[in-house]
């Protein structure tokens, strides 16, 4: 009577072993490196014997190593993507980015299509393995990446929505590469389409003209440390600049001379001319102060104190409100008397992030489609981009309309509103990034928020600025290069 029991148990053990072998085979076929090797097309000049031996060895790799490669992650990428990153050709940047002339008079061509080298590297990335996931896992991953205020990284490989015609670019208008230090801030002149200036980490200020042929007008030398911010006067005759050397300087552009120096006790981090009364200068410093200086005498008229270093500042169009951001991610609204320059704090908007991060951009706009009124843009170093509506009746009270989470920044990278297309279009933002690209985002779209990007810089893009005619976009990078991009003409 015991023999049938023995036979039955042996059959069950045999079936169990068969199932285990089948599962092992399934696991072995899911090797990410073997899978990508099978998908990768063979070059015409490759040795078929080498390819066959490589695939055979990848197929015979130990299961423990396969599992480790499947589970391995670094900055959100898998084993194969990181292996391709470290084994890429030494001159891969030159192969990806087309060469262009680097003189102010010659324009380079922006090439939106990727090169064969980039296609080869992308074909071997971990993203090609997403088909191996179960349907439930794929749907969960999709839901995570398309949430409106989630990690919408500017380096995502998700397909971007087709850019609006008015935000399509035909190439580079000109390039300025005389500066050998990081260009920290860049701006066009007030109500000007061709006057451009940029400040650098070596303390220099450069004033240029982008009209054909582009040229450097003046070199303003005087600051001994980084230029943190500057602003044009209403008539574009003067520039007021702030610096890490604890001074505020006023420059006469036509003569290229510094006509006034205001000394402080801490680093001066941001500065603005009053939009109505240009005799007032508002400056924020590392001592948590907002100071109002008299342009003519250089004396301090008024000041107020906030909770952190004042890292970004902007006025409203009436000059009665000052919006500033500090080193802790908070946004403040300060009332200002346009006649006396007296300041008084009115509102504070705390950052919702657990990790406090410095505000790099505070920009005011008189009208927005989303808010049907004045709005404020704030951008922090941790990649948080916030969009507020401004209530002028409540002394500049801010209401958060929407937010976007981008990849964290190592540098003080800035963002800017894009020109309004029409009342039927969305709200567009342009920002620099650490991967040397310029990205465009549409805040009205919860999915595929990134709509376009410009490639051409070789270093992290720091500064962004539009001209008054809204046909040119200027961007500066860590290596000292300034590129002026030309928008495509639309009907």
Confidence class for position 367, pLDDT limits 50, 70, 90: confident
Location of structure tokens 């003519």? 296
Please give the pLDDT value at position 269.
94
Please give the pLDDT value at position 117.
40
Please give the pLDDT value at position 90.
53
Please give the pLDDT value at position 237.
93
Alpha-carbon distance of 50 to 223, in angstroms, equals 61
Mean per-residue pLDDT for 30-39?
A: 58
453-456 own/partner pairs: CB under 8 Å, 24+ apart: 453/154, 453/160, 454/110, 454/169, 454/485, 455/96, 455/97, 455/110, 455/111, 455/112, 456/97, 456/100, 456/108, 456/110, 456/172, 456/483
Q: What phi-psi label fits residue 452: left (phi over 0), alpha (psi between -120 and 50 degrees) or beta?
A: beta
Confidence class for position 242, pLDDT limits 50, 70, 90: very high
Please give the pLDDT value at position 462.
94
Confidence class for position 163, pLDDT limits 50, 70, 90: low
Q: Which residue has the higher pLDDT, 367 or 415?
A: 415
pLDDT at 92 over 70: no
Q: Would you state the structure tokens that stand for residue 250, as one six-digit string?
A: 């006023």
pLDDT at 487 over 60: yes
pLDDT digits (tens, 9 = 90+) for 297-326: 889 999 999 989 999 999 999 889 999 999
Least confident of 148-157, 177-186, 267-276, 393-402: 148-157
**Chain-wide mean pLDDT for the chain?**
76
pLDDT digits (tens, 9 = 90+) for 165-214: 557 888 889 999 888 899 999 999 998 889 999 999 999 999 999 998 99
Alpha-carbon distance of 207 to 411, in angstroms, equals 23
pLDDT at 356 over 90: no
**213: preceding bond cis by omega (within 30 degrees):** yes
Please give the pLDDT value at position 428.
87
Instruction: Give the predicted TM-score (pTM) of the model.
Output: 0.67
Least confident of 3-17, 146-160, 473-487: 146-160
In the chain, the percentage of residues whose pLDDT exceeds 90 is: 39
pLDDT at 149 over 70: no
pLDDT digits (tens, 9 = 90+) for 375-402: 999 999 988 899 999 988 888 899 998 8
Mean per-residue pLDDT for 15-24?
A: 63
pLDDT at 139 over 50: no
Query: Are 220 and 239 contacting, i.e. CB atoms less than 8 angstroms apart?
Result: yes
pLDDT at 460 over 80: yes
Q: Which residue has the higher pLDDT, 127 or 8?
A: 8
pLDDT at 364 over 50: yes
Least confident of 232-236, 441-445, 481-485: 441-445
Phi, psi of 194, deg, nearest 5: -130, -10
Alpha-carbon distance of 263 to 246, in angstroms, equals 6
CA count, 13 A, side-chain hemisphere, 451: 23
In the chain, the percentage of residues whose pLDDT exceeds 70 is: 65
Please give the pLDDT value at position 306.
92
Write out the chain in H/E/C secondary structure.
Answer: CHHHHHHHHHHHHHHHHHHHHHHHHHHHHCCHHHHHHHHCCCCCCCCHHHHHHHHHHHHCCCHHHHHHHHHCCECCECHHHHHHHHCCCCCHHHHHCCCCCCCCCCCCCCCCCCCHHHHHHHCCCHHHHHHHCCHHHHHHHHHHHCCCCCECCCCCCCCCCCCCHHHCEEEEEEEECCCCCCEEEEEECCCCCCEEEEEECCCCEEEEECCCCCEEEEEECCCCCCEEEEEECCCCCEEEEEECCCEEEEEECCCCEEEEEEECCCCEEEEEECCCCCCEEEEEECCCEEEEEECCCCCEEEEEECCCCEEEEEECCCCCEEEEEECCCCEEEEEECCCCCCEEEEEEECCCCCCCCCEEEEEEEEEECCCCEEEEEEEECCCEEEEEEEEHHHCCEEEEEEEEECCCCCCCCCEEECCCCCCCCCCEEEECCCCCEEEEEECCCCCCCEEEEEECCCCCEEEEEECCCCCEEEEEECCCCEEEEEECCCC
Residue 219: other Cβ atoms inside 10 A:
12
pLDDT at 448 over 70: yes
Please give the pLDDT value at position 141.
37
Q: CA 72 → CA 68, 69, 126, 133, 321, distances in Å?
A: 6, 5, 11, 15, 51
Location of structure tokens 């609006």? 164
pLDDT at 115 over 90: no
Please give the pLDDT value at position 12.
62
Please give the pLDDT value at position 338.
86
């Amino acid at each position: 009577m015991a023999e049938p029991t023995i036979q039955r148990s042996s059959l069950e053990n045999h079936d169990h072993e068969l199932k285990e072998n089948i599962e092992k085979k399934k696991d072995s076929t899911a090797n990410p490196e073997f899978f990508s090797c099978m998908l990768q097309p063979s070059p015409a000049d490759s040795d078929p014997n080498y390819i066959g031996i490589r695939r055979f060895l990848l197929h015979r790799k130990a299961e423990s190593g396969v599992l480790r490669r499947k589970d391995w992650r670094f900055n959100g990428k898998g084993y194969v993507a990181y292996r391709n990153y470290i084994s890429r050709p030494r001159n891969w940047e030159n192969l990806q980015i087309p060469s262009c002339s680097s003189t102010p008079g010659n324009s380079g061509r922006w090439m939106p299509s990727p090169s064969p080298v980039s296609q080869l590297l992308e074909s071997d990335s971990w993203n090609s393995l997403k088909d191996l996931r179960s349907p439930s896992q794929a749907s969960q991953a999709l839901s995570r990446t398309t949430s409106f205020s989630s990690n919408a990284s500017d380096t995502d490989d998700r397909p971007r929505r087709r850019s609006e015609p008015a935000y399509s670019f035909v190439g580079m208008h000109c390039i300025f590469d005389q500066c050998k230090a990081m260009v920290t801030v860049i701006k066009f002149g007030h109500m000007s389409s061709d006057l451009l200036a940029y400040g650098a980490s070596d303390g220099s200020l450069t004033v240029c003209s982008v009209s054909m042929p582009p040229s450097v007008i003046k070199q303003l030398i005087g600051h001994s440390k980084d230029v943190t911010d500057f602003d044009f006067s209403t008539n574009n005759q003067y520039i007021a600049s702030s610096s890490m050397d604890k001074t505020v300087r006023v420059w006469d552009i036509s003569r290229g001379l510094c006509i006034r120096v205001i000394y402080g006790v801490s680093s001066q981090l941001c500065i603005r001319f009053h939009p109505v009364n240009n005799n007032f200068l508002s400056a924020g410093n590392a001592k948590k102060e907002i100071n109002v200086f008299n342009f003519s005498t250089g004396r301090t008229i008024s000041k107020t104190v906030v909770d952190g270093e004042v890292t970004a500042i902007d006025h409203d169009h009436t000059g009665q409100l000052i919006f500033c951001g500090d080193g802790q991610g908070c946004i403040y609204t300060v009332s200002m008397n346009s006649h006396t320059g007296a300041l008084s704090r009115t509102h504070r908007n705390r950052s919702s992030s657990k990790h406090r991060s410095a505000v790099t951009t505070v920009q005011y706009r008189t009208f927005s489609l989303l808010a049907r009124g004045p709005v404020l843009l704030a951008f922090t170093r941790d990649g948080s981009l916030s969009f507020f509506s401004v209530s002028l009746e409540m002394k500049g009270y801010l209401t958060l309309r929407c937010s976007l989470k981008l990849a964290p920044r190592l540098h003080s990278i800035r963002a800017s509103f894009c020109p309004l297309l029409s009342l039927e279009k969305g709200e567009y933002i342009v920002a620099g990034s650490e991967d040397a690209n310029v990205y465009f985002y549409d805040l009205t779209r919860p999915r595929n928020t990134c709509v376009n990007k410009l490639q051409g810089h070789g270093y992290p893009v720091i500064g962004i600025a539009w001209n008054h005619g809204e046909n040119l976009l200027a961007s500066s990078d860590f290596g000292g290069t300034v590129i002026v991009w030309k928008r495509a003409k639309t009907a």
